[in-house]
Amino acid sequence: MAQPALHAWSAGERLRLALHAAERTDPDPKALACYGLWLPERARMLLRFVDGRPVSAVTCAFLAWAAEQLATDGVRVLALLWDNASWHISQEVRAWIKAHNKGVKDSGGCRLLVCRLPSKSPWLNPIEPRWAHGKRAVVEPKRKLTAAELRQRLCDHYRAPLLQPLAQQLA
């Protein structure tokens, strides 16, 4: 039997997801930022949500956390497949990775190897289909989920613990 060319099983009418407008009085954020790291050999996803936007300092905090997690698992090198997002290619992030890798060379840990993707080529990044499937798996077509519900559903879907969100460091 061939698989149907559908994203969801439905009887009759196709499943459509509607945009749910955020009310001005709603205290929940209008969007969630989440860093993810797909580890194919372990079939595991590392997730960290962000309070605020994904900026360079938060990217460095995520990389430090991920490198520490992987080092405890015995991973010596992590190849990061990255697009050209500003928080990936900033001078701050590049300098942090350089300093981190120098420290790893001196004292051990997980080295980070950045592999940049060409512009506008998300299909080359193996995490992109996982994001798309995850989003489809957790949404509800009839109502807007709260931020807490969405975080918990994503963590359940990816079998990742719900950890304290990374916070932006305000100067």
Q: pLDDT tens for residues 28-65?
A: 777 788 999 988 888 889 999 998 888 999 999 999 99
149 in a domain, yes or no? no
107 in a domain, yes or no? yes
Mean pLDDT of all residues in 127-140: 87
Q: How many CB atoms lie within 10 A of CB 155?
A: 18
Supply the pLDDT for residue 92.
Answer: 94
**72-101 per-position pLDDT tens digit:** 999 999 999 888 888 888 999 999 999 999
17 in a domain, yes or no? no
What are the start-end ranges of the E strands in the chain? 33-39, 44-51, 77-82, 111-116, 166-167
Q: Is the pLDDT of residue 169 over 70?
A: no
2 in a domain, yes or no? no
21 in a domain, yes or no? no
33 contacts 52 by C-beta, under 8 angstroms: yes
Supply the pLDDT for residue 85.
Answer: 83
pTM of the entire structure? Answer: 0.80
The tokens for 116 are 């940049």
- In the chain, the largest separation of any two C-alpha atoms, in whole Å, equals 62
52 in a domain, yes or no? yes
Number of domains observed in the structure of the chain:
1
- Domain hosting 54: range is 33-124
Supply the pLDDT for residue 161.
Answer: 94
**103-114 per-position pLDDT tens digit:** 999 999 999 999
161 in a domain, yes or no? no
- Across the chain, mean pLDDT equals 84
28 in a domain, yes or no? no
Mean pLDDT of all residues in 129-150: 86
